Amino acid sequence: MDGKEHTMAYEEDFDAEWYLDTYYEPSLEAVDKDEFLQFTLDSLHDAFRTARVTGSRLLDVGTGPTVHSVISGSQHVGEIYLSDYAAQNRKVLTDWWKLGTRPQTGIMEYVLRRENSDESVINRQDDMRQKVRGILAIDVHLEHPLGSEYGSEYFDVIISSLCLEVASQSIGEYRKAMKNVCGLLKPGGHLILVGLCGQSYYRVGEQTFSSLPLKRHQAEEVLEDLGHTLLSMRWIKTQDSVLSDTKGAFVIVTRAGSTTKTLLRT
């Protein structure tokens, strides 16, 4: 697969239904066997329970067609905003929000079990859907990624999962994208970043998408340069897969400084 041209044309080439079917709609039994998914869901759970991430407004950046990243957080915030660059992903999210389609039941069950909760999947879905305030268009490469309506320092919590490294072609671009995203975070707000290490491509349907082969210390350095305090960092080595050349995954939780830093290493 290496050496081939990979696409970055998300609106044209990203098959939202295939992505959801393949990566995020397993049964509970399948989630129990999926190390990466468990790592992500457990880390998100722990961030809200242990690191006490909380606040009024939560933004998920580059949500794709999947809401797994906000299941735990939905219990700790008042309003949820989902966002994506590609219209077809926003359509899947909007259908879930308005109509309750594609409920990701196995993942919901896993998170509820992790919480020791006796809440039903339907209840949690309804609660999440009621808290959603918008499905927003976003481009992390813009200084104001959500446009002028959502000014700077607007959100108490930002989650971003597997977005910035696949949207960037160089570490310089990754740094700028991170700065743009963090500009939406209130001083003292929390960022939860789920990222992949060493990945140069991943498959979605017939297409392979390009990705920046990031090292986890690079993500930490970018955030420290932006004035964030690292609260926790976890990582795992991922298993070999026919779907990507990913080497590992990390989840970093940070608290933004009291003022937004504007200087970045180049």
Ligand X SMILES: C[S@@+](CC[C@H](N)C(=O)[O-])C[C@H]1O[C@@H](n2cnc3c(N)ncnc32)[C@H](O)[C@@H]1O
Q: Give the footprint of ligand X on this chain (CB under 6 A).
A: 10, 14, 62-64, 66, 69, 84-86, 89, 138-141, 161-163, 166-167
Between 25 and 84, name the residue whose CB sits nearer to ligand X: 84
CB of 162 to ligand X, least distance (A): 4
Q: Contact 219/161 with Cβ under 8 angstroms?
A: no
Between 1 and 122, name the residue whose CB sits nearer to ligand X: 1
Q: How far is CA 209 from CA 15, 168, 170, 195, in A?
A: 11, 11, 15, 15
H/E run at residue 132? strand 132-137
**Roughly what angle, to the nearest 10 degrees, separates helices 105-114 and 35-49?**
50
CB of 32 to ligand X, least distance (A): 19
Identify the bridge partners of residue 201 per DSSP, sorted by sequence position: 210
Between 77 and 138, name the residue whose CB sits nearer to ligand X: 138
If we measure between CA atoms, which residue out of 167, 208, 250 comes closest to residue 4? Answer: 208
CB of 236 to ligand X, least distance (A): 15
Q: How far is CA 105 from CA 27, 59, 69, 98, 184, in A?
A: 7, 22, 14, 17, 31
Between 116 and 244, name the residue whose CB sits nearer to ligand X: 244
Between 10 and 97, name the residue whose CB sits nearer to ligand X: 10
CB of 64 to ligand X, least distance (A): 3
- Using CB positions, name the residue nearest to ligand X: 64
User: What is the b/e burial string over 112-126, where b = at least 16 CB atoms within 10 angstroms of the residue's CB?
Assistant: bebbeeeeebeebbe
What residues contact residue 52 under an 8 Å CB cut-off, 6+ apart?
A: none
CB of 180 to ligand X, least distance (A): 9
Between 173 and 257, name the residue whose CB sits nearer to ligand X: 173
CB of 33 to ligand X, least distance (A): 18
What residues contact residue 188 under an 8 Å CB cut-off, 6+ apart?
A: 255, 256, 257, 258
Between 10 and 110, name the residue whose CB sits nearer to ligand X: 10
Q: What sign does the dihedral 244-247-249-250 (CA atoms) show? A: negative
Q: In this structure, what token pair is assigned to residue 245? A: 């050349």
CB of 135 to ligand X, least distance (A): 12
